[in-house]
Amino acid sequence: MVEDKKQIEQHGRMNSNILFRLLQDSDHNKLQEFCNRCDSLGYYNNSSFKAINLEKMKMPHGQFFIGYDVDKDIIFNLCGVHSMKELNTNAYRVFYRGATLPGYTTGQHSFRASYQLMEVLNMQIDFITNINPVAEFYFTTNIEKSSTNGKSQRMNENMVPRVARTGIFTLVDDNFEYMYTKQKLWRVNVPEYKAWRLD
């Protein structure tokens, strides 16, 4: 393996008070606080352990990553990656149950302000390709509006199409039925993403 678990956990440190790493069982109390905060903000897909499917998100199926504010001693970001065997045995879904509490950005402009795009996606790709070197990465955005998918629906209409113009994402299917929901399916173009991230 290119990187061991400890290296993966340290990968993505932005500054002295922000750390990105794998979710651990010992984080569950802090994760519950994060879910409570998401519930109060109306982020219902992240409002409970049941909503984020925590029990299922264990390898080899999936893995959550967290953003941790050392000074405040809180989890402020959650984002998962899991296998997507509905497509093929090498397919993985990134940005799963991705949510960030208000007030946290990288300090960069436009799309680069997103920790999930700049840091977490990169960690998810590295983590999975260490396990499966021929892995393919996809994500979905919801087409239809509902009380629980507001963020995904806004990403579908606004952010993702604009980011896709950089070449890092490709629309694979604009009417993809997944988890009983009509969605758009996007592929992450890994070489282009890696180059864009460091540009």
Which pLDDT score, from 0 to 100, does residue 12 have?
44
C-alpha closest to that of 19 among 29, 31, 11: 11
**Mean pLDDT, residues 56-64 taken together:** 97
Question: What pLDDT, on a 0 to 100 scale, did the predictor assign at position 151?
Answer: 52
> The domain that contains 134 carries what CATH number?
3.40.630.30
Euclidean distance between CA atoms 93 and 125, whole angstroms: 10
Structural domain range at position 27: 5-198
Distance CA 66, CA 90 (A): 24
Q: Read off the pLDDT of each residue in 40-61 and give the average, rounded to a whole number.
A: 96
pTM: 0.87
pLDDT class of 108 with cuts at 50, 70, 90: confident
The total domain count for the chain is 1
